[in-house]
């Protein structure tokens, strides 16, 4: 899949119960089983990610304008003019509950 999306594979982490249990209890496997192979794979992925971020920053960084709405400081993307999008039924508690008319695209 990494090749299909022309991206770098940071780590291969097996699906195992310890990961789910750690997530459910708030005690990640890297904390409860720090010497396990799975914990070491998470640590390897984190190290590779940090190296990648450091390299990108050293090369001048990147702009996220193409993937994230950018608005002036203090202005929410939901307070900008709405883009045309298919209308959806709003449910209580979601983005649609803020009164509509925003530009977040969830209306």
- Distance between CA 8 and CA 47 in Å, rounded? 14
Compare 77 and 29 and report the one with higher pLDDT: 29
The greatest distance separating any two alpha carbons of the chain, rounded to the nearest whole angstrom, comes to 52
Compare 101 and 68 and report the one with higher pLDDT: 68
Q: What percent of the chain has pLDDT over 70?
A: 69
Compare 101 and 52 and report the one with higher pLDDT: 52
Q: At residue 104, does pLDDT exceed 60?
A: no
């Amino acid at each position: 899949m990494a090749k299909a999306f022309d991206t770098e594979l940071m780590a291969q982490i097996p699906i195992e119960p310890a990961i789910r249990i750690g997530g459910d209890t708030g005690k990640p496997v890297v904390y409860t089983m720090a010497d396990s192979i799975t914990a070491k794979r998470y640590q390897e992925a984190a190290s590779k990610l940090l190296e990648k971020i450091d390299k990108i920053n050293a090369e001048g960084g990147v702009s996220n304008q193409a993937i994230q709405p950018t608005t002036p400081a203090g202005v929410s993307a939901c307070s900008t003019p709405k883009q045309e999008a298919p209308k959806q039924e709003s449910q209580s508690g979601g983005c649609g509950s803020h009164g509509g008319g925003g530009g977040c695209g969830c209306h």
